[in-house]
Structure 1
Amino acid sequence: MINIGPRSSVAAFDVDAQNCFTPLCPDELPVPDGHEITDALNSQAKLAQYRLGSKDAHPENAVWAATSKRPQLSPVVGFENSDLHWNIHAVPGTFGFELLEGLPAVTEYDFFVWKGIEPDIHPYGACFHDHAEKRSTGVVEFLLSKGVKTVVVGGLALDYCVKVTVLQLLRSGFRVIVNLAATRMLSSDTGHSACQEMQSAGAVFVNNSDEIKVVDEPCLSNWSH
């Protein structure tokens, strides 16, 4: 059991929990069992004072779009904010763009990020729009303004957007807990490597939210003066 302190200092982060990253969209970027994380994301949110979310939001004319000549995972040349070719995914207005069924509406989150709308920019992490991490999405600033110390993270996929978001949060000074029940990996090779990288950087892993304990703070109105 991991004690993460008072609920008021805890945030939960749903990273790119979208249909496009599940078998529901087999022509996009289907992560095995990616559609099965909703309950775990909702469970971890109950531990937190704040719930954050992010979405990929990509145009169909993206420079990183995979083709027969430039297959998925081949390198992108000439664009500093796009590194690999990917199948087109998360186009606004499509089913793949939508959050997984059972998650809140985006307007019900305490903070929400859309990333990657520019055709030449394909970020992974949800804390910065660019690969050099100079253009903030506002996530770090929001968390700091609310006094958050610990962020519990889940979403899709573990080996890409979740990993980079976790590393960005760690570099920003937060304690980060990765909830394995609330995430899935695109492949076992990259997934296990990602876990090692996150753990080496200071991330803590739990199998599910039952392994996390928050401390309920006393009600000030009941204090005697």
Structure 2
Amino acid sequence: MTTIAIDIQPQYRFSCMAANEKRFLHQPENIVDELNRQARLADKRVLIENIGSTSGFFCQSCIEAPLNRSGSVFGKMKDHCRSNHLFAGLPCPADYDHAVETDGDYRHGVCFHDAKESRSTGLMEWLYRQQADTVILGGLATEEAVTNTAKQLMWYNRDLHVIVNLSACCGYTPETTLTAIADMRDLGITVATHSAAIPALSESFSLNALLKVS
């Protein structure tokens, strides 16, 4: 069986007020180290990149593919691999084992292009072909795409162990993040505080699954 790490929309655009209706994430690039750490616990790594049509509303700094950002000050693009606006420190899309582009609302889960779940992105089908039994999620934003993706994966495959690594995610506020965590735990989704806790949580999940079978 296979463990898959999924990077959900780790893009600078989600820290841009102009692109996000005044709802932006504070320093979301801080999740990069944890995304890389959880990927080392997995057999394969997947990139989910949102290519929504809101680029016309980006501020000029975001359009210029920011790098080495500090506060609201943006640097210039130094590497053609960064033209996709992924956070500095992440692999280029071509270096991922699989990549999925979503073109719908970035707030709902990334298993579908639309909120009605009528157009699959192909993610669940790819996971099935990989014989995935565990997925580790991180990305943006905790209360929206991350939580909704975890719920979709649990709904459509109850045998899948879904882990959300909070240190690899970024939420809007502590209050909304705590609500999302409670919702996920109520559904049986495993919530890890950081990547170092994932091996023990995976072992515990496997043991409980064996006990249920016996």
Distance of aligned partners of 1:169 and 1:88 in 2 relative to their CA distance in 1, 3 Å threshold:
farther
Distance of aligned partners of 1:148 and 1:114 in 2 relative to their CA distance in 1, 3 Å threshold:
same
- d(CA) in 2 for partners of 1:162, 1:140: 15
SS at 1:37 equivalent: helix
Hey, what does 1:103 align to over in structure 2?
90
* 1:156 equivalenced with 2:147 (yes/no): no
Alignment equivalent of 1:31, drawn from 20, 25, 34: 25
Distance of aligned partners of 1:171 and 1:187 in 2 relative to their CA distance in 1, 3 Å threshold:
same
Hey, what does 2:46 align to over in structure 1?
52
Q: Is the 8 A contact 2:3 2:43 kept in 1?
A: yes
Instruction: Say what the alpha-carbon RMSD is for the aligned residues.
Output: 2.4
Alignment equivalent of 1:141, drawn from 118, 125, 130: 125
- d(CA) in 1 for partners of 2:198, 2:12: 27
Structure 2-normalised TM-score?
0.74
Query: Across the two proteins, how many residue pairs are aligned to each other?
Result: 176
Stretches of structure 1 that go unaligned for 5 or more consecutive residues are: 1-7, 63-86, 216-225
Hey, what does 1:222 align to over in structure 2?
none
Hey, what does 1:21 align to over in structure 2?
14
Larger % of helix: which?
Answer: 2
* 1:209 equivalenced with 2:208 (yes/no): no
> Which amino acid in the other structure matches residue 100 of structure 1?
F
Hey, what does 1:122 align to over in structure 2?
105
SS at 1:95 equivalent: coil
Alignment equivalent of 2:100, drawn from 90, 108, 113: 113
C-alpha displacement at 1:88, in angstroms?
5.8
* 1:200 equivalenced with 2:186 (yes/no): yes
- d(CA) in 2 for partners of 1:60, 1:146: 33
Name the larger-Rg structure.
Answer: 1
- d(CA) in 1 for partners of 2:55, 2:11: 20
Q: Is the 8 A contact 2:13 2:58 kept in 1?
A: no
C-alpha displacement at 1:134, in angstroms?
2.1
Structure 1-normalised TM-score?
0.71
Alignment of 1:177-192 (within 5 A): 177-192=163-178
Higher relative contact order (CA 8 A, sep 6+): 1
Moved beyond 6 Å, runs of 4+: none
Hey, what does 1:82 align to over in structure 2?
none
Hey, what does 2:156 align to over in structure 1?
172
- d(CA) in 1 for partners of 2:54, 2:189: 35
> Which amino acid in the other structure matches residue 38 of structure 1?
V
Stretches of structure 2 that go unaligned for 5 or more consecutive residues are: 67-83, 204-214
Alignment of 1:72-87 (within 5 A): none
> Which amino acid in the other structure matches residue 182 of structure 1?
A
